[in-house]
Amino acid sequence: MSKNIFEGGSEENLIFRDERFLYPEFVPEKLPHRDAEIDSLVFALKPITAGKKPQNSIVLGRSGTGKTAAVKYVLKELEEFSDRAKSLYLNCFEFNTRHGVLTEISNFLGEPTPRRGIATDEAYSKLLAALKRASFTPIIVLDEVDQLLQGNEASKLFYDLLRVVEHEKNGFGLVLISNDFSFSTKLDARVKSSLAHQSITFEPYSPMQLKDILRERAQYAFHPNALDKEAINVAAAHAAKLGGDARIAIESLLKAGRLAERENVKKLLPQHLQQVFAEVDASGLKKYVSSLSEHERNLLLLVPSSSEIGSGELLEKYSASVDTPLTPRSFRSMLSKLESLNLIRANFTGKGVRGRTKKISLLVPKAAVLRELDQTK
Ligand SMILES: Nc1ncnc2c1ncn2[C@@H]1O[C@H](COP(=O)(O)OP(=O)(O)O)[C@@H](O)[C@H]1O
Ligand SMILES: [Mg+2]
């Protein structure tokens, strides 16, 4: 009988003890350098444990600063601690309409509500009825909440939620998460003061902080001695350069580890990391490309591959390519969106002709920009 193609090779992994500790959805038990942010979330939600109303928060920070991980971790701890709290996590890439969000919340509250074949106002009434009967305080997380602003239903949804928050006697907690710092300025005052009562900011990680994070995750993911002593430094330095993004650091270790396993070597070396960086650097663009507007895509295409461009020059270039010129304000907001997703870096340089200018450079490989943006046109 011929040998099965799955036979042979080593079953023992030389590199990973358990690679799942490096998966993006894994929620670590320890989040180094996020104590203050976690405390703020605890403070906002703690009243629930005493049967009181929580405070609603908005969590802001660039991509890869640990927002999703910290919120999930806090809610897991809260639910373990108190039966009164139950949370629902919704990523607004998936639930990006008023209807989708409302039906999902009603379902979570125990009121079966189909997503199709039911009017949105009816879904909202079902939600209110279910809330009255609920024996716990719901906490709803809307992650990547800026996705809701794409359509025009967002403000209606926020008003629905506002009414719930204001009239619900038993409390209803809301945690909004956004990469976009200007998100809360896009909300009107009443919505903002009630739904985003407390704002918690996550700063990009420094190289030292990234090292601590990687060390913590690596001890569960890798066999002892499977990491070259320089590997963590190299991955941390790379991710620091690309905006202090922990996702890039962790994903680099995962991909490089897999490469080392395929080569059947005993150690993950810096060269393995070098080989996977281009792919990892492009993955942020892949993840967020669908959230970019036509204008943002075109602007990104104009950023040169290996040099910097002044913001004034970039605006001129952009204006030359379109019929209706951008206002400086919308130009700035597009730049800050691209920056929040770690697609570009924008640093202030001293003075330009018209006041402060920024130097813009690309943080993702140009080849990936061309590939991703052409495909989605
Ligand atoms: N302080 C930290 N400690 C351990 N892992 C972290 C920390 N911050 C972020 N991570 C990890 O980095 C990745 C990106 O974090 P994430 O929470 O998704 O960022 P964001 O939501 O801000 O884009 C995830 O795999 C997450 O588990
Ligand atoms: Mg996130």
Q: Which two tokens stand for residue 224?
A: 């002892």
Residue ending a domain, among 228, 249, 282, is 282
**CATH code where residue 74 lies:** 3.40.50.300
CA of residue 374 to ligand 1 center, whole Å: 29
> Cα(299)–Cα(360) distance, rounded to whole angstroms?
11
* CA distances from residue 344 to 50, 193, 278, 331 in whole angstroms, order as listed: 45, 31, 15, 14
Residue 1 has pLDDT above 70, yes or no: no
Pairing of strands 355-362, 309-310: antiparallel
Residue-by-residue DSSP string for 158-201: HHHHHHHHHH-TT--EEEEEES-GGGGGGS-HHHHHHHTSEEEE
Element (H, E) at 313: helix 311-320
> Cα(213)–Cα(197) distance, rounded to whole angstroms?
30
Residue 5 has pLDDT above 80, yes or no: no
Whether residue 250 sits in one domain with residue 300: no
> Cα(373)–Cα(252) distance, rounded to whole angstroms?
23
CA of residue 67 to ligand 1 center, whole Å: 7
Whether residue 324 sits in one domain with residue 277: no
> Cα(77)–Cα(55) distance, rounded to whole angstroms?
17
Residues that constitute the known binding site:
65-69, 205, 217
In a domain, 36, yes or no: yes
Among the listed residues 47, 45, 52, the one whose alpha carbon sits nearest the alpha carbon of residue 168:
52
Q: Which two tokens stand for residue 363?
A: 């943080």
In this prediction, residue 355 carries a pLDDT of 62
Q: Tell me the average pLDDT of the chain.
A: 91
Ligand nearest to the CA of 30: 1
> Cα(69)–Cα(182) distance, rounded to whole angstroms?
21
In a domain, 5, yes or no: no
Q: Which of 37, 142, 219, 247 to mutate to test the pocket of ligand 1 (most atoms within 8 A of CB)?
A: 247
136: three-class secondary structure by DSSP? coil
Q: What pTM, to 2 d.p., does this model score?
A: 0.92
Contact 164, 172 (CB under 8 A): yes
> If you take atom 16 of ligand 1, which residue's CA is the nearest one?
66
> Cα(45)–Cα(57) distance, rounded to whole angstroms?
9
Whether residue 337 sits in one domain with residue 234: no
> If you take atom 15 of ligand 1, which residue's CA is the nearest one?
66
Residue ending a domain, among 149, 175, 202, is 202
* CA distances from residue 88 to 77, 140, 169, 335 in whole angstroms, order as listed: 14, 5, 19, 32
CA of residue 181 to ligand 2 center, whole Å: 14
**CATH code where residue 364 lies:** 1.10.10.10
What is the extent of the structural domain holding 340? 292-375
Q: Name the β-bridge partners of 203.
A: none
Ligand 1 binding site (Cβ under 6 Å of any ligand atom): 24, 28, 31-34, 61, 63-69, 213, 216-217, 246-247, 250
Residue 174: Cβ-neighbour burial (10 angstroms; 0-12, 13-18, 19+): buried
pLDDT (tens digit per residue) in 338-354: 999 999 999 887 665 55
Total domains present in the chain: 3
CA of residue 30 to ligand 1 center, whole Å: 11
Helices H, strands E: what count in the chain?
14, 8
Whether residue 237 sits in one domain with residue 274: yes
In a domain, 3, yes or no: no
Q: Which of 19, 21, 68, 252 to mutate to test the pocket of ligand 1 (most atoms within 8 A of CB)?
A: 68
Among the atoms of ligand 1, which is closest to the Cα of residue 25? 25
Q: What is the separation, in whole angstroms, between the first and last Cα of the chain?
A: 52
Whether residue 196 sits in one domain with residue 57: yes
pLDDT (tens digit per residue) in 34-73: 999 999 999 999 999 999 999 999 999 999 999 999 999 9
Longest dimension (CA), the chain: 79
In a domain, 63, yes or no: yes
pLDDT-derived band at 114 (thresholds 50, 70, 90) equals confident
Looking at residue 140, what DSSP letter applies?
E
Residues 6+ apart with CB under 8 A from 81: 49
In this prediction, residue 174 carries a pLDDT of 96
Amino acid at 126: K
In this prediction, residue 328 carries a pLDDT of 87
Residue ending a domain, among 228, 250, 282, is 282
In a domain, 287, yes or no: no
In this prediction, residue 181 carries a pLDDT of 86
> Cα(369)–Cα(376) distance, rounded to whole angstroms?
11
Contact 83, 136 (CB under 8 A): yes
Query: Phi and psi dihedrals of 349, rounded to 5?
Result: -110, 170
**CATH code where residue 248 lies:** 1.10.8.60
Looking at residue 347, what DSSP letter applies?
E
Among the atoms of ligand 1, which is closest to the Cα of residue 249? 12
In a domain, 337, yes or no: yes
> If you take atom 25 of ligand 1, which residue's CA is the nearest one?
24
In this prediction, residue 17 carries a pLDDT of 95
Query: Phi and psi dihedrals of 90, rounded to 5?
Result: -125, 125
CB atoms within 10 A of CB 339: 22
pLDDT (tens digit per residue) in 236-260: 999 999 999 999 999 999 999 999 9
Residue 218 has pLDDT above 70, yes or no: yes
Looking at residue 222, what DSSP letter applies?
B
Among the atoms of ligand 1, which is closest to the Cα of residue 246? 12
Candidate from 146-155, 162-171, 315-324, 359-368 with smallest mean pLDDT: 146-155
Whether residue 277 sits in one domain with residue 298: no
CA of residue 311 to ligand 1 center, whole Å: 30
**What is the percent of the chain with per-residue pLDDT over 90, rounded to a whole number?**
72
**Looking at residues 180-194, what average pLDDT do you find?**
86
In a domain, 234, yes or no: yes
In this prediction, residue 32 carries a pLDDT of 96
Q: Which two tokens stand for residue 232?
A: 């963590």
Looking at residue 227, what DSSP letter applies?
B
